[in-house]
Amino acid sequence: LPADIVIIGVPYFANQSVEPEIERVIGDQVRAEFQSKGKYRVQPDEGGVDGLLTGAVTSVELRATAYTPERLPSAFAIIVTANVEFKNMRDNESVIWSNPSFRVSDEYQVTTDNTLTDVTAFFTQNPNAKERLPKRFARDVVTAIFEAF
């Protein structure tokens, strides 16, 4: 990142998906991922920041990816798509990285109810998925931003 970016703001993303609270979990994980880089101060708002990451979760999808011999799903992919933008607030709010369709997916095996049809039910029955997927999203988005420099 440019050397003058020291304080990074990561407010909660907008949530345009049907999955409640996903923007909160993703925002917390993205802040933690930036913080893990060591040299940045990260805050959950826009006030007085040098860099600003904003976004909107546009969809969260559940797709069966493997099936049992009885043709019931045995694995699912959860796909999160978001419109994400990182701005240099010290340089006239210039956009230094953006991806209007940033996509992260993660696959999960199911051993209990393989008749799930929506993401909320899946997260309820598989709580580790609601933690693992936002961590992956955070790692991937922060890595993409850093790789742009």
Confidence of residue 149 (pLDDT cuts 50, 70, 90): confident
- Given this model, what pLDDT does residue 117 score? 63
Sign, Cα dihedral of 86, 58, 17, 134: negative
> How far is 42 from 2, CA to CA, in rounded Å?
16
Phi, psi of 135 (to 5 degrees): -65, -40
For residue 7, how far is the Cα from the chain centroid? Answer: 20
pTM of the model: 0.88
**Mean pLDDT along residues 14-22:** 93
Confidence of residue 130 (pLDDT cuts 50, 70, 90): confident
Instruction: Evaluate whether 87 touches 52 at the Cβ level (below 8 Å).
Output: yes
